[in-house]
Structure 1
Amino acid sequence: MKPQINPARIDFVTLKLFCAIAQSGSITKGANECSLALSAASRRISELEETVGLTLLDRSAKGVTLTQAGHAVMQHALRLFQGFEQFSNELGEYAKGIKGHVRLWANMSALTEFLPTSLAGFLKAHPDIQVEVEEQISGDIVKALLDGIADIGVFADGTPTAGLETHIIGQDELVVVCSKSHAIKNRKSISFEECLDYDFVGLNRGSSLLELTSRQAERLSKQMRLRIQVRSYDAMCQMIGVNLGVGILPLQACAPQIKAMDLKVVRLEDTWAKRNLLLATKEHGRQSPACILLIEHLLQKSRS
């Protein structure tokens, strides 16, 4: 049976003291750092161990060291302090006049194509709202929404979205990009299966675009010949430009790089090459007024 721990018996002062002792290796030094008498500090640590029902510190003449349980307590304590610091910072922002905070996670395509103009208009209309934007792959965005780490997600379809409410806010056409000297440079269109005869430049593992193309190759009982993998669309275009392979890229998001590097675009004949861009939130989740305002703005922009 698991020991029943009453959180009300564990306070921030005791956790701060415990971390100070663990980091200094001394109850005396930890007590001094927290401006507590040695006897009071010792009593607090004893009460903490009694509350959790475990020994957290190994005591010796040379000082103290953490037990395995002590390490776990310290890790959780540090996470609590980080969360409290973020909580304090956000309240401080409200005091300075920032009346809303929204956490928006988006994939690379959305960040380079759809969001910049939309966010600029929103922030101009609502200067008191802070939007925290983070670039992530589609699968991680879905998980963050379900876990409550992100408020709004924008990503391409093809990723499981159970537990989310989604809206289509745009389309994203995937094309084959190659150098001016590549064998397919004069093609108007090509099937993905034909592309598999050539070397590829791709994004790093974990990319939703790489997962999509790899999955399509598996359905054809083939494999992509990935010659090189990079972290961004810009880097992909540079590698494609020196003829290291072809790449599958979202046309709208990469149009500036394709034009600047004088690359060739070949249409993909496969139906999956046209993807929907989704705006997602947690199903039945309680959204803040600031979050609702941003959602409505993004949906309105997608319809205009």
Structure 2
Amino acid sequence: MRYDLDDLRLFRHIVAEGSITAGARRMHLSLPSASARVRSLEHHAGVALLVRGRRGVRPTPAGTTLARHARDVLAQTARLEGAVASYTRSPAAPLTLLAGGSAMHRLVPQALIPFLREHPDVDVTVSECRTPRTVRMLADGEADLGVVLDDEARDCGLDTEPLGDDSLVVIGQAGGILAGRTALTYREVAEHPLVGLDADSSLRRWIEKNLGPHAPVARYRTSVAGLSTLVALAAAGVGLAVVPRRALNPGQPLEVCDLQDPWARRHHLLAWGASARSSPVAAAALAGHLRRAAD
């Protein structure tokens, strides 16, 4: 026999409520209409599906079996409808998030994972970008959100909000030449062999821009692409490294010293672009995850 999906839904509601009247109400049907549908089900099944009493109804063994299979059929139908509907929806334009190398190390991944899980229909394009270029792209509507440095984004004309500390520290091998020190200047750091990020990285460029023409010439034993590798090299005693404090995991076996130079004290800002208005709900949700990741 063929089953009507609305009849199956009605029967499930009746069994769940223990009442034809209540089941009819949940389906927005009149009681006579609901009763007729149940009688039609029983007629086609050739067996009683409900035991009627003064206090309501309860399923017969056949009715229990029907209700159980109806649940599975309706669930499968919902999945089928969702799968087919996904081909008819116009895909939303992906959000564009820009951030410097420091934020890309931990902040951005920690925000993206829960956001993408909670918003399966929203895609995000993420790019590493220095603050000046990020500001230009946000102002031109080429990006939705950006994680920027306060010193470089001040008076940029964008909507911004504080996001978190991104100050720089010096790290070295536990028990090494930094042992017993709490702070030092970059000039002191440059007296020792260093390991650093690649020359075109946003952090390396930030450091070199702020050092000026009369800064000491540092010896870099090697340059690497990522902060994780840089921290590992410093921990192994290959050389000292200047990194954002937020790049360090609590409990890592390292010597950590504050960098005393004024330019080492930095803060991240969350900046909004003009294009964020085209997907305000999604952009606001991603911004919320960035705030929580920065805490």
Is this a same-fold pair by TM over 0.5?
A: yes
Structure 1, 230-239 or 265-274: larger mean CA deviation: 265-274
1:245 aligns with 239
Secondary structure (helix, strand or coil) at the match of 1:128 reads: coil
Change beyond 3 A, Cα 1:202–1:303: closer
Alignment map for 1:21-170 (pairs within 5 Å): 95-96=88-89, 99=92, 101-160=94-153, 162-170=156-164
Is 2:145–2:283's contact at 8 Å kept on the other side of the alignment?
no
Aligned to 2:182: 188
Give the structure 2 partner of residue 175 of structure 1.
169
Give the counterpart of 1:210 among 195, 204, 208: 204
2:266 pairs with 259, 262, 275, which one?
275
Q: Which has the higher contact order (CA 8 A, sep 6+)?
A: 2
Instruction: Give deviations 1:226-250, integer Å, cap 9, x for gaps.
Output: 3322111122123323433211111
Q: Provide the C-alpha distance between the structure 1 equivalents of 2:277 and 2:145, rounded to a whole number of angstroms.
A: 12
- Work out the CA distance in 2 between the residues paired with 1:176 and 1:300: 26
Shift of residue 294, structure 1, vs aligned partner:
3.1
1:92-144 CA-partner distances (Å, limit 9, x unpaired):
97845755631112223223332333333433443332222233343443343
Q: Which runs of 5+ in 1 are unaligned?
A: 1-91
SS at match of 1:159: helix
Q: Tell me what 1:87 maps to.
A: none
> Contact 1:106–1:141 (CA<8 Å) still a contact in 2?
yes
**Deviates most, 170-179 or 93-102:** 93-102
RMSD: 3.3
CA-CA distance at 1:302 after TM superposition: 7.2
Name whichever of 113-122 and 244-253 sits farther off.
113-122
For residues 169 and 115 of structure 1, the distance between their equivalents in structure 2, rounded to whole angstroms, comes to 12
Residues 179-228 of structure 1 show CA distances to partners (whole Å, capped at 9, x for unaligned) of 23642233122222221222221111232221222233327643333332
Alignment length (residue pairs): 210
1:303/1:109 CA distance change after superposition, 3 Å: closer
1:99 and 1:129 in contact (8 A); partners too: yes
Over 3 Å counting, the alpha-carbon distance change for 1:95 and 1:263 in structure 2 is farther
Is the Cα–Cα contact under 8 Å of residues 198 and 245 in structure 1 kept in the other structure?
yes
Amino acid at match of 1:126: H
Residue 218 of structure 2 corresponds to 224
Name the aligned partner's letter for residue 188 of structure 2: E
Letter in 2 for 1:106: A
- Indicate the SS of the match to 1:198: coil
Q: Which runs of 4+ in 1 moved over 4 A?
A: 96-100, 283-286
The one of 242, 255, 261 equivalent to 1:264 is 255
| Equivalent of residue 294 in structure 1, options 265, 282, 285 | 285
Return the alpha-carbon distance in structure 1 between the equivalents of residues 88 and 97 of structure 2.
Answer: 22
Distance 2:87 2:263 in 1: 45
AA aligned to 1:281 is W
**Structure having the higher Rg:** 2
Q: Does the 8 Å CA contact 2:276/2:283 hold for their aligned counterparts?
A: no
Identity %: 29
CA distance in 1 between counterparts of 2:246 and 2:280 reads 32
